[in-house]
Amino acid sequence: MSEVMEKIKQAKVEYKSEVKPTWCPGCGDYGVLAAFIRALGELKIPTHKLSIVSGIGCSSRFPHFVRGYNLHTVHGRALPVALGVKIANPELEVFVVGGDGDGFAIGGGHIPHVARRNPDMVYIILDNAIYGLTKGQVSPTSTLTMMTTTTPYGALEPPLNPVMLLLAYGATFVARGFSSNTKQLTQLIVEATKHKGFAAVHVISPCPTFNMEITFDFVRERVVEIPPEHDPTNKIKAFELASAQDKIYTGIFYREERPTFEETLDKIVAKFDGNIDESVKKERISKLFEQFA
Ligand SMILES: Cc1ncc(C[n+]2csc(CCOP(=O)(O)OP(=O)(O)O)c2C)c(N)n1
Ligand code: SF4
Ligand SMILES: [Mg+2]
């Protein structure tokens, strides 16, 4: 067995849970899971330091299939829950995984605020441009021509562009992958995890059961890697690549260094702590504990 194959095998043993994925045969999400497991293997994150938080959707079943302190929460609320996890225990490597509906429809209001706070966590969006779990309704990334169970004559609104939004919201790392390109996606997840701050990885992950338009072939015909000469600190250029109509660029669009939410919070706490006497602090904490005793 080659060295690479041996590492992949080891990563599966270490990180795959005993729960078998319930996704349909051929679902793009299998490729994302494979890349995620490989990335964990490369990063060597101990499972007791791993927390995967999701909302609701086919893609949001993800935390069941990986070992860690994981949470399968409520539709559209994975990001605020994950932020709570990170604040409570900054030692954890926190990953948020969810779908296009979970992230950009019901949960759409959370992304800008989490992005501008810049917590050190990774957000992986599995975009199949449809609501898969609820059997094929229109989503915020469905195309105008797409016939779905709720839009039998085509959609009413044009799709939104997740990468453009993430850039505009101030995410400090923005990348895109394709579920069929496991090798590239593994590296994108590795880079996103190494990034200090809010790192978003938008993944095109087709749903062969309900989306007959954004198929694997459709994506393969349009997918192009971001040219190596692209400067990921150039936000204007990142917007340009993200707005391409005829191509789907994959790779790292943008990255910048900015203080994380945890660092900013520590500074505020230090300012507050400096202003009050140690005995007052102890008294306040004792009173709090008494309330919950
Ligand atoms: C508050 C609430 N509203 C609606 C639903 C129903 N619902 C469950 S999953 C889902 C959409 C799933 O789509 P997406 O997030 O794109 O995930 P996918 O299944 O495509 O991976 C909806 C509308 C719900 N569970 N909770
Ligand atoms: S319905 Fe679509 S997204 Fe859901 S598991 Fe099946 S193929 Fe995947
Ligand atoms: Mg979806």
Average pLDDT over residues 80-88: 96
Write out the E strands in the chain: 50-54, 71-72, 93-99, 121-127, 173-178, 198-204, 223-225, 248-255
- For ligand 2, say whether the CB of 58 is within 6 Å of any of its atoms: yes
Tell me, using a 6 A CB cutoff, whether residue 131 lines ligand 2. no
Burial of 242 (C-beta count, 10 Å sphere; 0-12/13-18/19+): buried
How confident is the model at residue 287, as a pLDDT?
87
Q: What is the mean pLDDT of the chain?
A: 95
Q: Is 209 in the pocket of ligand 2 (CB under 6 A)?
A: yes
Residue 68, pLDDT score: 97
Q: Average of pLDDT values for 201-213?
A: 97
Closest CA to 66 of 28, 97, 106: 97
Give the pLDDT of residue 250: 98
From atom 9 of ligand 1, which residue's Cα is the shortest distance away?
A: 57
15 pLDDT exceeds 80?
Answer: yes
Atom number, ligand 2, closest to the C-alpha of residue 58? 4
Q: Which helix (H) or strand (E) holds 267?
A: helix 261-275
**Is the Cα torsion angle 12, 75, 139, 23 positive or negative in sign?**
positive
pLDDT at 91 over 80: yes
What SS3 state is found at 72? strand
Task: Please say if the pLDDT value at position 209 is more than 90.
Answer: yes
Q: How far is CA 112 from CA 72, 109, 123, 201, 255, in A?
A: 22, 7, 13, 15, 16
pLDDT digit string, tens, across residues 142-178:
999 999 999 999 998 999 999 999 999 999 999 999 9
- Choose which residue among 20, 29, 59, 139 to substitute to test ligand 2 binding: the one with the highest number of ligand atoms within 8 A of its C-beta: 29
Higher pLDDT, 241 or 283: 241
Going from the Cα of 59 to the center of ligand 2, the distance in angstroms, rounded, reads: 8
Q: Look at residue 274 and tell me whether its pLDDT is greater than 80.
A: no
CATH, residue 23: 3.40.50.970
What is the phi/psi pair of residue 164, to 5°? -60, -40
In the structure, what pLDDT confidence band is assigned to residue 293 with cuts at 50, 70 and 90? confident
- pLDDT for the residue 17: 97
Query: What is 226-238 written as a DSSP string?
Result: PPTT--TT-HHHH
How is residue 29 written in tokens? 């999400």
Q: What is the C-alpha separation between 100 and 36, in angstroms, rounded?
A: 18
Does the beta carbon of 199 lie inside 6 Å of ligand 2?
no
Ligand 2 binding pocket includes 210 (Cβ within 6 Å): yes
At 179-204, the pLDDT tens digits run 999 999 999 999 999 999 999 999 99
Instruction: Give the 3-state secondary structure of residue 110.
Output: coil
pLDDT over threshold 90, residue 63: yes
How many separate domains does the chain show? 1
Confidence of residue 280 (pLDDT cuts 50, 70, 90): confident
- Determine the pLDDT at residue 187: 98
Compute CA 196 distance to the chain's CA centroid, rounded to the nearest angstrom: 15
pLDDT reported for residue 47: 97
- pLDDT for the residue numbered 62: 98
Place of tokens 């469905």: 142
The pLDDT of residue 289 is 85
For residues 229-234, give the mean pLDDT.
98
Range of the domain at 150: 3-292
Sequence-separated (6 or more) residues with CB below 8 Å from residue 236: none
Grade residue 130 by pLDDT with cuts at 50, 70 and 90. very high
Residue 279, pLDDT > 90, answer no
Which of 15-19, 72-76, 115-119, 152-156 has the weakest average pLDDT? Answer: 152-156
